[in-house]
Structure 1
Amino acid sequence: MIPKLISQSRITEVNTTADSLLMAYRKQSWEIDTYMLTIFTGLQTKSNELRTAIKCSKTESNLDKKDIVRDDKVRALHYLILGSIHNPDAAVKAAAKSLKAVFSKYGIKIIHESYTIESSLIESLLEDFSAPELQAAIALVSGCAEIISSLQIDQNDFKTAHFAWEEEKALNGLTQSSTDIKKEVLSIINDKIVLHLKAMQQANKELYGELAQTVAQIINDANQAVKRRRKKEEIEPEAAIEN
């Protein structure tokens, strides 16, 4: 039985597993199986891309942190406006309702969009909130002006980080993030290599048996390492609470 590689594997773990699978594949000649040649050639290409992307991961990690910060501000604005709608002061309630009408054009769902789309929507949201006719309402809802101002700063910080990331990707010839490439590598391993070997070892165990067994061992070892790490991560927070 050949297991599938756990999708929660880290990017570096997926890259290491892919390299091990490629080494196992190269021990035999597979010219007789053109499909096998195609999928492992694809794995090699994506594994190389992933290795390059990992080198850019520091810049991408910084971008992700900036994205989380601006997401928190969008959430804060969302909940502030919702809460203010129930304010006993009629003027504050009316102001909140007018702000909600503007925010609802975008909604909290924008934080789940891609980096580029979310940036575009936040820019548009901030432009809408800068309208002169909304300034009195913003002033009436305590804390709203501060959150909007902070969101603008966070959005500017994100744009700077995003430019640095795009620049580094361009220098390294990358068109995708390491996360997206990882998903493609996982798909090649789980949806192509594993499925193909499962079928072919049944049809021709003599030819495919050794590779199938090696692939199963490589993936099983990788999965066990992920499970041990995840278990350790679950235990450590509990220990910290007890202490």
Structure 2
Amino acid sequence: MIPKILTTTRVSELNGVTQQLIDKYTKGDYSSDSHLTQLFANLSDTNQQLGIAIMRHTAQSELADLDAITDNEVSQLHGLTKGYTCHPDEAIANAAHMLFQMIDKYGLEVKKKSYREEYPLLGSMLTESKTEPYPASIAQLDGCAERFNMLETAVNNFNTKQNAYLSVKDDEQNLASATDIKKQLICFINEELIAYLNVMQKVQADVYSELAQHTANRISESNNAVRLRRNKVEVNE
């Protein structure tokens, strides 16, 4: 008998196990079984949706990480320039005051705004910093040009990732969450695919036993990994 896949299986694990089942199926010739063909067509479609949902979630996490880098660069630039306003050299202090007024116009509050608001504002600040009289002021403040460059790199990295994310999001805007798709996929595997293979390996062992055994082995491996992880958590607690 093929064991049922555990509901506590992680989405990434489920995605991988399901793909292993699909790969095994495609290597065999089951074209005469229209029902199995339809089962695996549905399985492949749902697993593809799960893969996209996983990538979407990963992209959201990556955006948050990149935004944290940008926010840090904003703070560093703001702090560096503000510090120079207290410099004993009057020329440096005056240059810092002029530059800080421009930077502070956008303020540290920009970090608290939504991505949609924050990044256009930072883009405007970077553009403004390259117009007169700011380049001369930046040149007078040691390390300031490097800070602007680091901020610009952070903003560009975020925008590149966000554009890629939004293109996928627009194409798959009606796609369910990875958690919801996981529930659907586990239910389908346990109630539809496994049930069918358990019957057919008894009826036609010569045709279905290899696929059924492969399915049992892959699911058992996955379940064992889940149980091992759960046991480790219980021991640590």
TM-score range, shorter chain: 0.5 to 0.7
2:51 counterpart residue number = 51
Instruction: Give 1:23 shift.
Output: 1.1
Paired AA for residue 38 in structure 2: T
Moved over 3 A (4+): 58-62, 166-170
Unaligned runs of 5+ in 2: 63-113, 115-161
Match in the other structure for 1:229: 229
The normalised TM-score by structure 2 is: 0.53
User: Judging changes above 3 Å, is the alpha-carbon distance between structure 1 residues 184 and 168 closer, same or farther for their aligned structure 2 residues?
Assistant: farther
Contact 2:24 2:211 in 1 (8 A): yes
* 1:10 is the counterpart of 2:10: yes
Match of 1:173 in 2: 172
Aligned pairs (5 A) from 1:136-175:
170-174=169-173, 175=175
> What residue number does 2:215 align with?
215
Cα pair distance change 1:168/1:223, threshold 3 Å: farther
* 8 Å contact from structure 1 (residues 2, 213) kept in 2: yes
Q: Distance between the aligned counterparts of 2:16 and 2:218, measured in 1?
A: 10
Percent sequence identity is: 32
Taking only aligned residues, the RMSD between alpha carbons, in angstroms, comes to 2.5
Q: Distance in 1 between matches of 2:60 and 2:194?
A: 30
- 8 Å contact 1:22–1:40 — kept in the other structure? yes
TM-score by length of 1: 0.52
Counterparts of 1:179 and 1:60 in 2: how far apart (Å)?
Answer: 15
Instruction: Call closer, same or farther: CA 1:168–1:181 in 2, change over 3 Å.
Output: farther
| Separation in structure 1 between the aligned mates of residue 183 and residue 206 of structure 2, nearest angstrom | 32
- Do the aligned residues in 2 keep the contact of 1:56 with 1:168 (CA within 8 Å)? no
1:189-217 deviation per Cα after TM superposition (whole angstroms, max 9, x unaligned): 11111000001111111111111111100
CA 35–171 in structure 1, closer or farther in 2 if over 3 Å, else same? same
Distance 2:171 2:229 in 1: 31
CA distance in 2, matches of 1:210, 1:14: 21
1:52–1:172 contact (8 Å) kept in structure 2: no
Distance 1:227 1:6, change over 3 A: same
Point out where structure 1 has 5 or more consecutive residues left out of the alignment.
63-156, 158-163, 239-243
Shift of 1:188: 1.9
In structure 1, what is the equivalent of residue 67 of structure 2?
none
Q: Distance in 2 between matches of 1:185 and 1:61?
A: 24
Match runs of 1:83-162 below 5 Å: none
2:186 is the alignment partner of 1:189? no
Indicate how the Cα distance of structure 1 residues 235 and 168 shifts in structure 2: closer, same or farther if over 3 A, else same. farther
Shift of 1:171: 2.4
- Residue 17 of structure 1 deviates from its aligned partner by 0.8
Task: Tell me how far 1:168 sits from its aligned partner.
Answer: 7.5
Query: What is the CA distance between 1:26 and its match in structure 2?
Result: 1.2
Change (3 A) 1:9 1:235: same
- SS of the residue corresponding to residue 29 of structure 1 reads coil
Distance 1:192 1:60 in 2: 33
1:185 & 1:169 partners in 2: Cα distance?
Answer: 22
Residues 182, 49 of structure 1: alpha-carbon distance in 2 compared, 3 angstrom cutoff: same
Q: What is the rounded CA distance, in whole Å, between the counterparts of 1:59 and 1:28 in structure 2?
A: 35
Q: Which has the larger radius of gyration?
A: 2
